[in-house]
């Protein structure tokens, strides 16, 4: 079972009812409560029997990896629930992956169907990204342009889903505080002053010879003042 981190205060909870009662086959026990609900307008939550509207809003992300000649296009369609009310919220509804590369077609279709099913179940779906990001390719993964290490294609899909959930506000974006950002900037320019880059064709935006950061998986760790420091996320062995 995946560990689920609750990032927000719990403001409401609901006791799961038997199937018959949930689907409306049995009347609610307290008729007064039922009435209150009707007069205030029913709030719709994500659940698997929610019918797909004709039109959904979507975002398509391009994934180009060095392990395949063809790019992959990952589309996530969202549903807006309770539109125009104070309970309006946007949730992912389905995911599709398209590619000219058919090598892994059946697994990709299986993966997208399962992710879509989890989306439609409702509740917290952020745990999915952690599960996907933790998948390692036994052939060794690859480097993205910019120096970020991807342990597998599945992990890359996890990062894209995470980015999407952050963009629609379902996951907090990993924001660095201003002081930390400034520290990284100054450390970086200091390092660059000291070691002018000699290779004009170096593709990584981080210094040649930088080591892999265990925290953000970017090859951006350099020795600064006797301390291994990551120029991407600011992680430092000396705190």
Tell me how far, at minimum, the Cβ of 102 lies from Zn ion, in Å.
35
Length of the chain: 239
Q: Which of 44, 46, 216, 224 binds Zn ion (CB under 5 A)?
A: 216
Q: How far apart are the first and last CA of the chain?
A: 32
Among 213, 219, 222, 229, binds Zn ion (CB under 5 A): 213
Are the C-beta atoms of 131 and 104 separated by less than 8 Å?
no
219 binds Zn ion (CB under 5 A): no
Q: How far apart are CA 239 and CA 237, in angstroms?
A: 6
Cα distance between residue 48 and residue 169, in whole Å = 21
230: contact with Zn ion by CB under 5 A = yes
Closest among 77, 38, 85 to 61, alpha carbons compared: 77
Q: Nearest approach, Cβ of 43 to Zn ion (angstroms)?
A: 41
183 binds Zn ion (CB under 5 A): no
Q: Helix, strand, or coil here: 94?
A: strand
Shortest Cβ 216–Zn ion spacing (Å) = 3
Q: Confirm or reject binding of residue 97 to Zn ion (CB under 5 A).
A: no
Query: In the bound complex, what is the minimum distance in angstroms from residue 79's beta carbon to Zn ion?
Result: 35
Interacting residue ranges for Zn ion, rule: CB under 5 A: 213, 215-216, 230, 232-233, 235
């Amino acid at each position: 079972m995946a560990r689920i981190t609750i990032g927000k205060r719990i403001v409401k909870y609901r006791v799961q009812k038997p199937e018959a009662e949930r689907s409306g086959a049995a009347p609610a026990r307290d008729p007064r409560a039922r009435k209150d609900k009707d007069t205030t307008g029913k709030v719709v939550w994500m659940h698997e029997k929610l019918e797909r509207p004709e039109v959904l809003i979507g975002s398509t992300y391009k994934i180009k990896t060095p392990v395949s000649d063809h790019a992959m296009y990952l589309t996530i369609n969202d549903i807006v629930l309770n539109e125009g009310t104070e309970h309006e919220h946007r949730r992912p509804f389905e995911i599709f992956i398209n590619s000219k590369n058919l090598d892994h077609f059946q697994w990709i279709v299986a993966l997208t169907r399962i992710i879509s099913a989890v989306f439609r179940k409702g509740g917290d779906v952020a745990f999915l990204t952690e599960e996907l990001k933790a998948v390692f390719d036994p052939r060794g993964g690859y480097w993205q342009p910019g120096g970020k290490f991807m342990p597998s294609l599945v992990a890359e899909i996890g990062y894209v889903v995470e980015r999407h959930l952050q963009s629609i506000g379902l996951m907090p974006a990993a924001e660095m505080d201003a002081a930390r950002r400034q520290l990284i900037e100054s450390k970086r320019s200091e390092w660059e002053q000291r070691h002018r880059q000699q290779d004009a064709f170096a593709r990584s935006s981080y210094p040649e010879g930088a080591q892999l950061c265990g925290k953000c998986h970017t090859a951006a760790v350099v020795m600064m003042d006797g301390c291994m420091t990551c120029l991407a996320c600011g992680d430092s062995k000396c705190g």
